[in-house]
Amino acid sequence: MSATPPGADRPAALTPEALELLLGDPADAANPYGFAAAVARDEHDEFPEDLCEALRQAGFHLNYLPREWGGTFESFDRSLTLVRAAARRDVNVMPGTMFSIIAATCLQLHGSQEQQRRAAEILRRGGAVAFALTEAEHGSDLLAGEVRLSPDGLLDGEKWMVGLGQRCEAVYVVARTGERGPGAFSAVLLEPAELPADHFARLTAPRTGGMRGIDFARLRFDGLPVPEGALVGRRGEALEMAVKAQQAVRLMSMAGSLGCADTAVRLTLDFAQTRRVGRTVLTQAPYSRRELAVASAALLAADAVALSAARGVHVVPEVFSVWGLAAKHVVADASDDLIRRCASVLATRSVLRDGLFQKLQRDSTVVRVIDASALANLKSFAGQLPTLVERAADHTGPTEEAEAQLRTIFTLDAELPPYVPARLDLFARGVDPVLDGLPQAADELAKEAAADPTAAGITALVEQLTETVAGLGARSAAARRPGADPNALVDLAERYSWLHAAASCVQLWRANRHRSLYGTEPGSTGWLGAVLGYLLARADGTDPRQYGSVLLPALDAVAALRDGDRLFTALPVRLAVTREES
């Protein structure tokens, strides 16, 4: 489908550095795009109109739209970093400019040429196409949805918490057209301005604790005659398409978690590097230093996991019914954890009503559930794990093709193949490529560590990781035995998420030994040891503080990035500041 006339000029992709220059130093109290303005909006439940308009003028809203729709999308890892740079100022820029991503992805998957053309036209100019799936009485239980499209084309029922539902120009609605199972749902694309007011209403949705001021709505249909040509794709395929589309959406939601996490750690370091307890600065006081080290390790782990997933979806989208959900769990949970650690360092300043930190706390909790609750997220892929992990014991290791795929995914300067949403699948088959390639990566790491006295501790951590991964199959088999704990498979999904994250970090180190990651020396294992300690503790359900000094290199790396005015990411982005260079 061609939504943009052939030969039409397309805007250049916005870069994170250009965005930083455009929006200025967020710490400047007079900056309308800064932290003070975000907190003021939050206090009054105001939508970030001016900030979103500045971003639209710069083409920010085009970064998730495909080129054939007139967008500037290149790859998910680039979009992730760009969105994170904006979200660190105010995560509300994401729903303010990007809530249409799931409807757009659904239309890419099964919309007609005319529906895609119309959506592209709306989105290019900065309008919104809403996505109406959930219902108040059923939440994440999508199969229980009651909004119904009758055989004679009448739509009845109510959708709730529809993002941008009050202002959208079009809305993708999932409605029941059958009696049971995933095939009982179809989708229609409607334009609210053209719907009769006696059959359709936009109503106020419940207010949220975080992301205050964002436009959520309830959409009520009362015997609405659905216009001819509104059906999207074939009857019975809407739920399948929605679930596939959410795999991509979860990748971008991670940018919101990282934005909150980045600002929380930066704010806490600003405080801790100047605050003293007696004669000791907080960054050197034993307890606060340990909490900051845990928070830093969580931040680096979340960044590595998000970047890896954002690149992986280009190469092996067929496994993202597991990989994407596992990454979402780790990034959201690690971000919430590090914010709690930062709160313990900030103490009283973490609970000030009109403070930035409390806004970050509230916003982070909403980002975590914006596309599904934590439990629903884990349940949605727990049932796929037996196929992945029980076969792994009989597998002989990655093929040459699989090795090449891993190199492409994890080498941060490697060119990625185009993203093809049609390759997304409902079920991951075969083996997990990241875990399958772990033994080879672990062997290479062990050889290098043996020749480096400063890297001795990393060998034990990697051995612990490989042994724990090898035990996943047995845990899966036990979880499926008669009489097993009914929570065992969900618990396995959580354990798998943290271990998959740890293996991703090893693969990231392996593929980028020739470059500096997180501002450290090329090939440095300090940051890797810190994130492995953190992730292994989370996999075991224990406190990461047990790893003590292993975590400290993460704090050193994060503090150096903060002092150098860089984003806390593997290949750091220079930030806009007005203070004097240190």
pLDDT digits (tens, 9 = 90+) for 435-480: 999 999 998 888 887 777 767 789 899 999 999 999 999 999 999 9
Using the structure block, give the residue that is written with the tokens 């989105």. Answer: 123
Q: CA-to-CA distance for 27 and 33, rounded, in angstroms?
A: 10
**Residue 325 lies inside a defined structural domain of this protein:** yes
Q: What is the sign of the dihedral through the CA atoms of 237, 225, 134 and 90?
A: positive
**Residue 195 lies inside a defined structural domain of this protein:** yes
CA distances from 232 to 86, 186, 397 (A): 33, 8, 42
Structure tokens at 436: 């399958």
Report the amino acid identity of residue 365: T
Q: CA-to-CA distance for 130 and 517, rounded, in angstroms?
A: 38
| 8 A C-beta contact, residue 69 and residue 75 | no
Q: Give Cα 147 to chain centroid, integer Å.
A: 29
| Same-domain check for residues 62 and 158 | no
Residues 6+ apart with CB under 8 A from 498: 330, 535, 536, 538, 539
Q: What pLDDT was estimated at residue 1?
A: 44
Q: CA-to-CA distance for 1 and 108, rounded, in angstroms?
A: 9
Q: CA-to-CA distance for 102 and 107, rounded, in angstroms?
A: 9
**Residue 384 CB neighbours (<10 A):** 19
| Same-domain check for residues 352 and 460 | yes
Measured at the CA of 71, the angle between CA 68 and CA 72, to 5 degrees, comes to 115
Report the amino acid identity of residue 57: Q
Report the chain's mean pLDDT, rounded to a whole number: 92
Tally of structural domains, the chain: 3
| 8 A C-beta contact, residue 166 and residue 132 | no
Q: What pLDDT was estimated at residue 396?
A: 67
**Residue 575 lies inside a defined structural domain of this protein:** no
pLDDT band at 5 (very low <50, low <70, confident <90, very high): very low
Structure tokens at 199: 């059959």
**Residue 120 lies inside a defined structural domain of this protein:** no
| Same-domain check for residues 78 and 163 | no
Comparing C-alpha atoms, which of 63, 72, 74 is closest to residue 98? 63
Read off the pLDDT of each residue in 527-533 and give the average, rounded to a whole number. Answer: 97
**Residue 351 lies inside a defined structural domain of this protein:** yes
| Same-domain check for residues 395 and 504 | yes
Q: If you count them, how many residues does the chain have?
A: 582
Q: Is-above-0.85 flag for pTM?
A: yes
Read off the pLDDT of each residue in 406-418 and give the average, rounded to a whole number. Answer: 97
**Residue 115 lies inside a defined structural domain of this protein:** no
Number of H helices, E strands in the chain: 21, 10
**Residue 435 lies inside a defined structural domain of this protein:** yes
pLDDT band at 395 (very low <50, low <70, confident <90, very high): low
| Same-domain check for residues 226 and 311 | no
Look at residues 200, 232, 264 and tell me which one is the last residue of a structural domain.
232
Strands (E) across 329-480 are located at none
**Residue 419 lies inside a defined structural domain of this protein:** yes
Read off the pLDDT of each residue in 191-205 and give the average, rounded to a whole number. Answer: 95
Cα-Cα-Cα-Cα torsion 89, 95, 101, 102, nearest 10 degrees, comes to 130
Domain that holds residue 501: 242-563
Comparing C-alpha atoms, which of 517, 489, 522 is closest to residue 308? 517
Q: Name the residue with higher pLDDT: 377 or 499.
A: 499
